[in-house]
Structure 1
Amino acid sequence: MTSAPRVTVTTSWDDGHVLDPRLADLLDRYRLPGTFYIAPRNLEFAPAERLSAAGIRELAERFEIGGHTLTHQRLPQLSDAAAAEEIRSGRAELEDITGSPVTSFCYPRGEYTPGQVTLVEQAGFTLARTVRRGSLRPGHALELATTVNAYTHRVDGPLALRLAGGRPWTAARLYLAWDELAVHFFDRCLREGGVFHLWGHSWEVDARGEWARLERVLAHIAGRPGVAYRTNRELLALAA
């Protein structure tokens, strides 16, 4: 039996925005895999902001496409029947568009109930990603944890302090800039092993003017000898 790689890198990108192809081109530049979680009728976007069916098909030729419900509603606010339909119909529409199976899922906003984990599995998904950050271990396949979000979270002070080993200036640097946090986490993953999982939203990167930060991180994590680069679906073998 082949042993699992000591270090794995994966990336994932949510929502299905018209800027996703720009992000995909960056991933291509650095030969990095990506999983794009798409809600094809996302109610949070104007129709012109949603990635078109043709755009989804083009992405699917190069990257994994994952389910993200049909309209990106908050699952805990829905009845079980409505949540199940959102999960199922989002998958069905993506499969109709791409002509390929869709087996990975991401909970919109990372919000879900224990019962909805079962609904995701019943809909035919074998892996589901959350928005929990700060981990180098993927965890349960239907509640997959992540490492870093391409966004600076002001609630990450305790995490930054812990990673900095109590050094206040280092902690401040990690706390104030997500790209610093990502580089630090990746270097730690190289030393200790694990799964480095970067995720985000193309529209959010654009709104905050952080394409250069993103490219810095992608350049830092790409092309490392001995590192396995995988889609989210390919993490299934590593999930606990």
Structure 2
Amino acid sequence: MTNSSNPPRVVVTTSWDDGHRLDPKLAELLDRYGVVGTFYISPRNIEFAPGDHLSHQGVRELGERHEIGGHTLSHQRLPLITDAAAEEEIRAGKDEVEQIIGAPVRTFCYPRGEYHATHVQQVKDAGFGLARTVRRHSLGIGDPFEAVTTVNAYAHRVDVPQVLQMAEFNPFTAGKLFLNWDDFAIAWFEKCLREGGVYHLWGHSWEVEARGDWQRLERVLDHISRRPGVEYVANAALIPSEN
């Protein structure tokens, strides 16, 4: 049991993927609540219409307040392209984003969370210090080049086992957590306060918009923000040598 006079270390970090034109709206929400974000930018994302890309100026402005990370050049699915093409995607994406913001980029996120061992090594060779996956339900980071997260700003229908465990198998509570990702995110934060660890919330601004989830996201940020003794950091602070 944790001694109340010596509470566990609690770290909060958030990250937001892809480089969409709605990222500044999300950043404004983070700023309002004093929560730090890392924005993983794919500057030539092939999954967006040209008008949906965050402009270079927008990326620079984000970088003045939050961390900018790499997300490949064009958001291609790494396991579906050749190793040489994957290496170029990772390196060229890093180079272009660094040119945009005029500063080093130290963290990376695998597009769609899809990668092989070869890609992990390519990320290391490109000079990144941490690479985030899309795996969830952890209060640690694990391997820094396959870093895990806590919760996604999205309702996942495959989360039943984790929801049941979080709800201590209470059907009413489980139903509430299953239907409302914001309640699930808040429950994870309360667990982190009790046990300590790294609380990592992540998502996509365009997805929040598409699902009409801005109020849910704001509710979570309001709950987790400005807590005495809690550290609010960018993903780069999770790089082991910088802890």
Same fold (TM over 0.5): yes
Q: What is the CA–CA distance in structure 2 between the aligned matches of 1:15 and 1:239, rounded to whole Å?
A: 25
Give 1:65's aligned amino acid: I
Q: What is the CA–CA distance in structure 2 between the aligned matches of 1:63 and 1:10, rounded to whole Å?
A: 11
CA contact (8 A) 1:141 1:239 kept: no
Pairing 1:172–2:198 present: no
Q: What is the CA–CA distance in structure 2 between the aligned matches of 1:58 and 1:230, rounded to whole Å?
A: 18
Q: What is the CA–CA distance in structure 2 between the aligned matches of 1:96 and 1:194, rounded to whole Å?
A: 34
Which residue is 2:161 aligned to?
158
Which residue is 1:145 aligned to?
148
Which residue is 2:197 aligned to?
194
Q: What SS does the aligned partner of 1:145 have?
A: coil
TM-score by length of 2: 0.95
Summarize the Cα distance change of 1:190–1:153 in structure 2 as closer, same or farther, 3 Å threshold: same
Give 1:93's aligned amino acid: E
Summarize the Cα distance change of 1:124–1:238 in structure 2 as closer, same or farther, 3 Å threshold: closer
Which residue is 1:209 aligned to?
212
Give 1:58's aligned amino acid: E
Structure 1 residue 239: Cα displacement: 9.7
Give the alignment partner of residue 75 of structure 2, picking from 62, 67, 72: 72
TM-score by length of 1: 0.96
Pairing 1:218–2:221 present: yes
| Structure 1 residues not aligned, in runs of 5+ | none
Q: What is the CA–CA distance in structure 2 between the aligned matches of 1:7 and 1:104, rounded to whole Å?
A: 21
Superposed CA RMSD in Å reads 1.7
Q: What is the CA–CA distance in structure 2 between the aligned matches of 1:196 and 1:59, rounded to whole Å?
A: 22
Pairing 1:46–2:46 present: no
Q: What is the CA–CA distance in structure 2 between the aligned matches of 1:143 and 1:58, rounded to whole Å?
A: 28
| Structure 2 residues not aligned, in runs of 5+ | 1-7
Which residue is 2:133 aligned to?
130
Which residue is 1:19 aligned to?
22
CA contact (8 A) 1:38 1:66 kept: yes
Structure 1 residue 237: Cα displacement: 3.0
Q: Number of aligned pairs?
A: 238
Q: What is the CA–CA distance in structure 1 between the aligned matches of 2:242 and 2:158, rounded to whole Å?
A: 27
Summarize the Cα distance change of 1:97–1:239 in structure 2 as closer, same or farther, 3 Å threshold: closer
Q: What SS does the aligned partner of 2:240 have?
A: coil
Q: What is the CA–CA distance in structure 2 between the aligned matches of 1:209 and 1:164, rounded to whole Å?
A: 26
Q: What SS does the aligned partner of 1:187 have?
A: helix
Structure 1 residue 99: Cα displacement: 0.3
Q: What is the CA–CA distance in structure 2 between the aligned matches of 1:189 and 1:239, rounded to whole Å?
A: 21
Q: What is the CA–CA distance in structure 1 between the aligned matches of 2:218 and 2:169, rounded to whole Å?
A: 29
Structure 1 residue 238: Cα displacement: 8.4
Structure 1 runs of 4+ aligned residues shifted over 2 Å read 237-240
Q: What SS does the aligned partner of 1:59 have?
A: helix
Which residue is 2:12 aligned to?
9
Q: Percent identity?
A: 64
Q: What is the CA–CA distance in structure 1 between the aligned matches of 2:54 and 2:210, rounded to whole Å?
A: 17
Q: What SS does the aligned partner of 1:142 have?
A: helix
